[in-house]
Structure 1
Amino acid sequence: MAFLIIASLFLLADTNQKINTAATTNTVSFSGEGKVVSMADVAIVNLSIVTEAATSKSAQDNNSKKSKSVVDFLKKQKIDDKDIKTLSYNIYPQYSYPERENPKISGYQVNQTMEVKIRILEEVSGILDGIVSAGVNQVNNLSFEIDDPEKLKSDARKMAIADAKKKARELEKELGIDLGKIINFSESAGGFPTPIYLEAKGGMGGGGDGGPSVPSGENEISVNVYLTYQIK
């Protein structure tokens, strides 16, 4: 009898399952994994418009003109208002440091950062080139993402549950046990897109043939689940 118990425990260790042999709470747990791989379907880009002038008002006016030019360009690319938003707007005094004198304000810098969501990935390169021509000074980072990861996560979860249930049926037959109802469920998810960083100062592609080439790549979403059954 002792030999049979030890052999069973080794079998369970190999299949990543766990059995609780307490007389009143006999249970067995099964793990399952599901993975879904999908191409990114949106690009998220952060861009900055930086202007400097002798007065705060002039710096703001210049920034507003460039911002309008950029937004007008984006709308011509059929990007909706809901996919264009301002993340930050800052005004910084600029200082000069005369010899043997206290620092003096010599002008002002305005820095406006916007986030843009691009839904047609084939147009990313051309849009990056165009926004620089329209007045953008910096493209701070670019990431390719899945716009609705919850749908893919749900698909991965279904696969993981099916995987765990398959293991349960196999082990039930191999050990000759009779499984009851599922009394506990838990899950963990992973696999999120990694940003691709890209920066431009004073131009990206210089108005050349089509702008920079930017690969979007694939994203993987994985879900691990754990099902705990009663043993009848």
Structure 2
Amino acid sequence: MKKILIVLTLSCLLTVPAFAAEAAKSLVQVSGSSQQEINPDIARLTLTIKTVNTDLEAAKRENTKNSNQLLAKLKALGLTDAQIKTATYHVEPVYSYEKDRLPKLKGYNITNSLEITSPIEKTGLLVSEATAAGANEIGSIRFEAANENDAKDAALKEAMADALRKAKVIASALNKRVSNVTQVNESGVYYRPLMLESRAAKAEDAAGPVIPAGKVTVSANVQMTVELE
């Protein structure tokens, strides 16, 4: 019985340093963020051809003619099939409405929209040439970075570094050090391209409008739990 008590006592004594070491550690939660502006290198815009005619077949022929003319111009500017895709195509009847009478069919409105991806330096020329070729509405222009994923990864790394820096500052103030990162939660990585509002094509666009690209904003946020000792 005495031998059993001695063994138990020694076991308890051996576990005290382990408990003391655990008690000396502290858990701290910090947040990290990053926001940067990068130069975009591609533009995405929508070129639209709208045709209105009292006769459906005439409206279709006119829209097809103008659309083919626009496609030819885009190809002449060096755009490939991969940079051009149909965004929308629809036929909409146009009615006139009078009080106490049934709607009266006036004609048809045909809309054919193309989504274009182009190098930024060609944006102004593209708008000018597309207008001359028959596009009568320029959709919203969006400036983006071709290496979107690389920009997001860089922002996430900066957010991690910011969180770890804060943890080290807290540890130093407590006369401790960061011994381990126990948990990291990504709170979001945001990519905000620059958007310009859509507008109808105007005659002065033929001179080649100047369209400044501005900057693309990329940001990231993380939550980090670290162990101090």
Report the TM-score when normalising by structure 1: 0.78
SS at match of 1:72: helix
| Alpha-carbon offset, residue 122 of structure 1 | 1.7
Q: Which residue of 2 aligns with 1:155?
A: 154
Tell me, in whole angstroms, the C-alpha distance in 2 between the residues paired with 1:100 and 1:222: 57
For this pair of structures, how many residues does the alignment match?
Answer: 207
Contact 1:129–1:204 (CA<8 Å) still a contact in 2? no
Q: Which residue of 1 aligns with 2:9?
A: none
Identity of aligned residues (%): 27
| 2:169 equivalent to 1:167 | no
Tell me, in whole angstroms, the C-alpha distance in 2 between the residues paired with 1:185 and 1:198: 41
Report the TM-score when normalising by structure 2: 0.79
Write the letter of the residue equivalent to 1:226.
Q
Cα distance 1:95–1:185, how it changes in 2: closer, same or farther (>3 A)?
A: same
1:27-176 maps to which residues of 2 (within 5 A)?
27-96=27-96, 102-119=102-119, 121-176=120-175
Return 186-195 or 109-118, whichever deviates more. 186-195
Cα distance 1:58–1:161, how it changes in 2: closer, same or farther (>3 A)?
A: same
SS at match of 2:36: strand
Tell me, in whole angstroms, the C-alpha distance in 2 between the residues paired with 1:82 and 1:51: 26
Contact 2:152–2:190 (CA<8 Å) still a contact in 1? no
Tell me, in whole angstroms, the C-alpha distance in 1 between the residues paired with 2:157 and 2:86: 38
Q: Which residue of 2 aligns with 1:179?
A: 178
Return 110-119 or 98-107, whichever deviates more. 98-107
| 2:225 equivalent to 1:228 | yes
Tell me, in whole angstroms, the C-alpha distance in 2 between the residues paired with 1:42 and 1:197: 17
| Alpha-carbon offset, residue 36 of structure 1 | 2.8
| Alpha-carbon offset, residue 131 of structure 1 | 0.5
| Alpha-carbon offset, residue 191 of structure 1 | 5.1
Q: 5+ unaligned residues in a row in structure 1: which ranges?
A: 1-22
Tell me, in whole angstroms, the C-alpha distance in 1 between the residues paired with 2:121 and 2:104: 48
Tell me, in whole angstroms, the C-alpha distance in 1 between the residues paired with 2:226 and 2:30: 8
Tell me, in whole angstroms, the C-alpha distance in 1 between the residues paired with 2:219 and 2:96: 54
Write the letter of the residue equivalent to 1:87.
A
Deviation above 3 Å: which 4+ runs of structure 1? 23-26, 95-104
Contact 1:190–1:221 (CA<8 Å) still a contact in 2? yes
Write the letter of the residue equivalent to 1:61.
R
Aligned alpha-carbon RMSD (Å): 2.6
Tell me, in whole angstroms, the C-alpha distance in 2 between the residues paired with 1:193 and 1:181: 37
Contact 1:96–1:103 (CA<8 Å) still a contact in 2? yes
More helix per residue: 2
